[in-house]
Amino acid sequence: MIDATFDDRDGFIWFDGELKPWREANVHILTHGLHYASSVFEGARAYGGHIYALSAHSQRLIDSAALMGFPLPYTVDEIDAACKATLAANNLTNAYVRPVAWRGSEQMGVSAQKTKPHLAVACWEWGAYFGEEALRKGLRLTIAPWRRPAPYTAPVRAKAAGLYMICTLSKHAAEQAGYNDALMLDWRGQVAEATGANIFFLKDGELHTPTPDCFLDGITRRSIIALAQRRGLKVVERAIWPEELASFQEAFLTGSAAEVTPLAEIGPWSFQVGATSLGLAKDYTDLVHGRITGVEPVPSTQK
């Protein structure tokens, strides 16, 4: 498919309760979400017409909006139905699904009590986030120039648009330096995540992953923990410091967009694209395509 800008495509977007032609699904320039980042979103993938963990994504969207102070007038079932309707209207079976909610244009200024919440769902074909060769070769990461904020400085448990500003800046810096992505540390200097994906490390047959106390406890992350436990792997959630990276044999990223992607290096540290990373990547592919059943994302550790 020839790439097109995201405002000029054929198809339909679900917008505040109805399917609208893609080019007509617009908001006003004075929308509060554009000026003050009062917007939350989700990213899910459809495989063979089935949107993986859809209700978990819909619930997180509702929770994120509530944390941002604009409760959505939709239930999980209604958001699920909107996502399925959008997928069907666009005749897609393998696609990325993007629900997004925001405060409207009824009020301008920092205060937003008079604004109304809006919800839209779009979907489009989107292949491997990091490209097809990444699974074989592994990604090259540098250390991000920005850090994940402390939980007392931002609503870090919301998938909020404003929290991704430093992710864009960090990813641009990484790409300009010849890397695929960047590892973000948290405000304490501990390992946190990549710019749009969680991270895991393998050491002596155990998986280690940072405790998600200032970044999202991803749905794919929790699926990988369940798949690892299914394999009999011990998963350790803990604080991880950068100087520990030399002791890990393998590393990989997880996310709805990234799926499971091995790492070859992070700054000066190198990793094998090994059997554990590749095995869990295959398990995840089998899970989202329905070839593994009875495995659900482990409950979130975020409260």
Classify residue 32: in a domain, yes or no: yes
Q: State the pLDDT at residue 191.
A: 98
Residue 2 pLDDT exceeds 70:
no
Q: State the pLDDT at residue 227.
A: 98
Give one word for 17, left, alpha or beta, with left for phi > 0 and alpha for psi -120 to 50.
Answer: left
Classify residue 298: in a domain, yes or no: no
Q: In this structure, are 69 and 153 located in the same domain?
A: no
* Residues 238 and 210: beta-carbon distance below 8 Å: yes
Residue 125 pLDDT exceeds 70:
yes
Q: In this structure, are 161 and 113 located in the same domain?
A: no
Q: State the pLDDT at residue 134.
A: 80
Classify residue 198: in a domain, yes or no: yes
CATH number at residue 71: 3.30.470.10
Position 303 confidence tier, pLDDT thresholds 50, 70, 90: low
Q: In this structure, are 234 and 145 located in the same domain?
A: yes
Q: Give catalytic residues, as residue numbers.
A: 159
Residue 50 pLDDT exceeds 70:
yes
Per-residue pLDDT tens over the stretch 106-119: 999 999 999 999 99
Cα(179)–Cα(227) distance, integer angstroms: 29
Please state the domain count of the chain. 2
Query: Which of 73-87, 99-113, 132-146, 207-221 is the least confident region?
Result: 132-146
Residue that finishes a domain, picked among 60, 91, 124: 124
Q: State the pLDDT at residue 4.
A: 82
Q: In this structure, are 57 and 142 located in the same domain?
A: no
Q: State the pLDDT at residue 133.
A: 84
Position 301 confidence tier, pLDDT thresholds 50, 70, 90: confident
Per-residue pLDDT tens over the stretch 222-237: 999 999 999 999 999 9
Q: In this structure, are 219 and 272 located in the same domain?
A: yes
Q: For 17-39, what is the mean pLDDT?
A: 97
DSSP calls for 46-98: EETTEETTHHHHHHHHHHHHHHTT---S--HHHHHHHHHHHHHHTT-SSEEEE
Token pair 């909610």 is found at 101
Residues with Cβ within 8 Å of residue 190, at least 6 apart in sequence: 210, 239, 240, 241, 242
Q: In this structure, are 193 and 262 located in the same domain?
A: yes
Q: In this structure, are 65 and 182 located in the same domain?
A: no
Residue that finishes a domain, picked among 124, 147, 168: 124
Count Cα atoms within 13 angstroms, Cβ side, for 296. 7
Q: In this structure, are 165 and 140 located in the same domain?
A: yes
Q: State the pLDDT at residue 136.
A: 85
pTM of the model: 0.96
Residue 1 pLDDT exceeds 60:
no
Tell me the residue range of the domain where 47 lies.
12-124
Q: In this structure, are 110 and 144 located in the same domain?
A: no
Residue that finishes a domain, picked among 79, 100, 124: 124
Q: What percent of the chain has pLDDT over 90?
A: 94
CATH number at residue 223: 3.20.10.10
Position 260 confidence tier, pLDDT thresholds 50, 70, 90: very high
